[in-house]
Chain A
């Protein structure tokens, strides 16, 4: 369960995120959509505690990201846009390191390692150096890293970017199997991905939320493309700030 309320982030004069509110219910996969530069990565970085918000609150599994940061970080698995890999390490060496970093006891590391190697299809690659892996396998190691401590919440920033079609399908079905008992927020600008994988959709444009609804409600008789284009163009037509103001009042 993630609750984001009235979140704003300013970089000097630039408002990257303005008054963003949405919830990701427990066990649901939420697609976080928006054009490039809409504020997706910033919002996700705030949820994970990497960046501080200028104002607003984020609660993850009931813990406040700012007040109880360590508790939140224990419960989140995070795959940033670029998988955070140390190129000189082997796949298993790296995953063992992350497992310790996430607070796993020494005795639990090996079983967690074997579990994520299986889940992410990395068994054949276990002794390879991270710097020698292809983009697709780097992405899988990134995912394995996010899963190693079996977190109830997953934040995935563009998990399928730069992959070939076969890899995209693999990663998607993997994410789908991860849902159910975990809360997942995944950002993307590939709309069919959301239609296939997600339960709920949040569309963000120019730093604020323009649509938040169940996928089923949105796509009744329409494609997600139509919904997206309509929401974005309506937002631009109104002038982004006006919409934000109306939503803030409502």
Chain B
């Protein structure tokens, strides 16, 4: 564990001593802010419209959580599909290109510690992103009255999803020594993971159920509605463990080829 922290620390310093972390944070928050503004404006206009039509029973139906926070979280999850691969793409390819892989693998460090250290480094950056995007929720709390537990459940869903993306990116970056291949490969995997649920709408029976279960969106949607179900948590944990376990295998196999 100590070695994992050493490796994670170096990883984090490397993100922040280059423009990488700042650019990714800025892009994520700028686009997130734009989505937030657009959704909020649309919400206010809808409210104003129904107020004019004097239909108070319709007003009851609309709430901040459903019309602003949930779609905002969904939009931000799409942003993560593009941003997480940029975080993970250098993890292993750069080590291989600059020869530092030899340093890591000839040090008295276990492969699991290398993998977990890399993952922890990425996790720190991603968690910071999700945390800073909490500003949008905080603004709503300051000027409106959203249901806070529901909102927190959604943010937890976003974070869990980001961790699964991160594990997938870590795995794919361990396969290659090329940064572009790592980025595009991860992007592909995340898009498949995100959109495979679409098949579930047409497929019948077990296949349809299975596809819906694999789809990350299904589980995430539940959490944005404020439902924290064990089966969703198990889903996220399972993907996380599988991703890290396979990365461990992949790094080990490079060593014993």
Contacts and interface: CB of A to CB of B under 8 A. Distances in A.
A127 to B, nearest CB: 13
Secondary structure at the A interface, as helix, strand, loop or mixed, is loop
Interface string B106-150: 111110000000000000000000000000000000000000000
A100 B3 CA distance: 7
B205 interface: no
B15 to A, nearest CB: 10
Nearest to B113: A101
Contacts of A205: none
Interface string A87-102: 1110001000110111
A74 interface: yes
A101 B99 contact: no
B17 A84 contact: no
Given A100-B6, A101-B107, A84 B14 contact: no
Interface in B1-39: 2-3, 6-7, 9-10, 13-14, 17-18
A100 B106 CA distance: 14
Given A73-B107, A73-B108, A84 B100 contact: yes
Contact of A70 (B9, B18, B99, B108): B108
Given A50-B105, A78-B106, A101-B109, A86 B10 contact: yes
Contact count band on A: 20 to 34
Contacts of A81: 99
Contact of B102 (A78, A87, A97): A78
Contacts of A70: 108, 110
A73 B106 contact: yes
B104 interface: yes
B104 A101 contact: yes
Most buried by B among A82, A86, A93, A103: A86
B98 A84 contact: yes
A118 B100 CA distance: 23
B18 A88 contact: yes
A83 B103 CA distance: 9
Interface of A: 45, 48-52, 70, 73-74, 76, 78, 80-89, 93, 97-98, 100-103, 145
